[in-house]
Amino acid sequence: MPELPEVETVRRGLQPFMEGAKILHAEARRKDLRFPFQKDFVARLTGQIVTGLGRRAKYLMADLASGDVLLMHLGMSGSFRVQKDATATPGEFHHPRSKDIAHDHVLFRMSSGADIVFNDPRRFGYMKVIARDAIESEPLLKGLGPEPLGNAFDAAMLAHACAGKSTTLKAALLDQRVVAGLGNIYVCEALYRAHLSPRRQASTLANRKGELTDYARRLVDAIHDVLNLAIKAGGSSLRDHRQTNGDLGYFQHSFQVYDREGERCVTPGCSGVIRRFTQNGRSTFWCPKCQK
């Protein structure tokens, strides 16, 4: 269920067990996830010290002492869990507490004493080792737009990125080239908070003269707010680091429109009802009354 806040939450959960630790043992239990593992995947990880664990959009990036970077994407159903009191021996990392070992696809045994297990039932996730020097030319990262919580992302830049587009705001915000890290949920939530219709043309973030409109400012503020709130909620749920996984403490209790079809709009003074419709093959939730 990972969009930017979830990936950031996972990063913070894994960081204490990965940063500064050595990968004593790495294991891929099948030959592919979304893509085949590289032939030298395990070899390039084994024995490496993880010097840092970062995030770009929805990718986790583990820096290795070798100069390589391990890129990890959670897809739709990927999650990590940390087993601090691991009892498995390398080659068999089944654990009594693991209910779903059939989808435990990758293991890192760290010198920190933790086993870090990647589980992904749908296998839309993937991992790839690339050279840090070649990061600029990495196809998976190349087209990514700005980080929504980074300095480069503001109303002017969003309006500029949307200028000339012949699509809706919903589709534009889901486009990782426009802004990188939002998914279906947070796009719905941000548009709702900005009181902007998901059907509004993206190009209306600027006026005819190319000047940015108040819509752009509202939208950027809403994106900032919802992402920061979600990260805060995810972070606080990870106080217990026994487990790092997607199900714990998500922001889902704070969704204002997502998956709330038929419920009353919570915008003060609005008497609308949340509706759902399909846009570019994805569910959009919105309030037709207060989102224009």
Partner DNA sequence: CGGCATACCTGCAAGC
Partner DNA sequence: TGCTTGCAGGTATGCC
Residue among 3, 6, 27, 189 flagged as catalytic: 3
To DNA, the closest distance from the beta carbon of 175 in angstroms equals 7
Q: Single out the residue of 65, 70, 39 nearest to residue 54, CA to CA.
A: 70
- Residue 58 known to be catalytic: yes
Length of the chain: 292
Q: Single out the residue of 23, 60, 72 nearest to residue 44, CA to CA.
A: 23
Q: How far is CA 152 from CA 55, 157, 179, 221, in A?
A: 16, 7, 10, 14
Whose Cβ is closer to DNA: residue 90's or residue 143's?
143
Interior angle at CA 146, CA 141 and CA 149, nearest 5: 120
Binding site for DNA (CB under 7 A): 1-3, 6, 34, 57-58, 73, 75-77, 102-103, 121-124, 139-140, 143, 164-168, 171, 174, 176, 182-185, 250, 252, 280-283
d(CA 28, CA 244): 19
Residue among 6, 8, 27, 58 flagged as catalytic: 58
- Residue 138 known to be catalytic: no
What's the half-sphere exposure (Cβ side, CA atoms, 13 Å) at 50? 29
Report yes or no: 179 and 146 within 8 Å, Cβ to Cβ: yes
- Residue 3 known to be catalytic: yes
Interior angle at CA 115, CA 112 and CA 121, nearest 5: 150
Catalytic positions, written as ranges: 2-3, 58, 282
